[in-house]
Amino acid sequence: MKHILLLAASAASIGSALALTLQTYSLKRVAKIGDSAKYRLSMDVAFGDMQFKMTSTSTLKVVRVDEDGTVTTQTSQGEYKIKIKGVAEEMTAPDTEPTTAARKANGELVSLNGDRIDASSYRLDNLNAFHAPDSPVKVGDRWTFDVKGDSKTGAVAGKAEFELLGIERVGVYESAKIRWTYQETEGATPASSEGTVWIEVKDGSLVKSEGKLKNAPLRDAPRPVDFSFTTERIG
């Protein structure tokens, strides 16, 4: 009897695993006006011989949802803390003005608006953006997304590749764990990125992201920089 019970338990576990493997997920953004989320961002930046760590928080709020699924959000960022390697004193920076972004349900950027938006803003967004597949996917599936260059905004053409690694819980959120790589395909110093992003399966919102960027364009920086980052939802 004991062996029969063990076999039954094993069969049930296998069945659950198979069901999880075969289940499909849309991953497209589904939002309503007023939805909000708070995130903590940590960046480790290498700029020549100087290395520093910067942390901040950001609050994202949905301010518009169009009939075609395009979602407009407003993001406020602050609580900046900067620690330069070799310097004992930690520095702070003032909060930045809110920015507004409109995206299609699949994550494709439509527009960015704010006081300090420039070409580097569009390039950075594409380096970090998640793009949902056209159709629902299951664990193990891969898909790609081609970004078009735009001379008006300064966006650079590039290609993103994604793979759904699995479904796991991050805090209270059931999340799709996805690996990504991105490579700009034009420009004198093309930037690239790679990492892992966790997307809530219920509504396609960001739960967590961690990755590395190479030759990243930062506003006011005299040359591209390399950095790693972690973004995690905290509220």
Q: What is the CATH number of the domain that holds 112?
A: 2.30.230
Q: Please name the residue that has the structure tokens 């793009």.
A: 131
The residue-averaged pLDDT of 177-186 equals 98
Q: Residues in the chain, how many?
A: 235
Of the candidates 123, 127, 132, the one whose C-alpha atom is nearest the C-alpha of residue 105 is 132
Residue 82's pLDDT is 92
Each residue of 56-74: pLDDT tens digit?
999 999 999 999 999 999 9
Neighbouring residues of 200: CB distance < 8 A, sequence distance ≥ 6: 173, 174, 175, 176, 206, 207
Q: Please name the residue that has the structure tokens 């803003």.
A: 121
| Full DSSP string of 156-218 | --EEEEEEEEEEEEETTEEEEEEEEEEEE-SSSS--EEEEEEEEETTT--EEEEEEEEEEE--
What's the domain range around 202? 2-233
Integer Cα distance of 185 and 161 in angstroms: 13
Neighbouring residues of 172: CB distance < 8 A, sequence distance ≥ 6: none
Residue 104's pLDDT is 97
Instruction: Confirm if 219 and 120 have CB atoms less than 8 A apart.
Output: yes
* Angle in degrees, CA 180, 181, 182, rounded to 5: 125
Number of helices (H), then strands (E), in the chain: 2, 12
Question: What is the average pLDDT score of the chain?
Answer: 90
Residue 7's pLDDT is 47
The residue-averaged pLDDT of 167-181 equals 97
Tokens for 18, please give them.
């198979």
Number of domains in the chain: 1
Neighbouring residues of 58: CB distance < 8 A, sequence distance ≥ 6: 38, 39, 41, 75, 76, 77, 78
H helices present in the chain, as ranges = 2-22, 119-128
| Cα dihedral 6, 9, 14, 15 in deg (nearest 10) | 140
Confidence band (pLDDT; 50, 70, 90) for 221?
A: confident
The residue-averaged pLDDT of 201-223 equals 92
Integer Cα distance of 77 and 9 in angstroms: 49
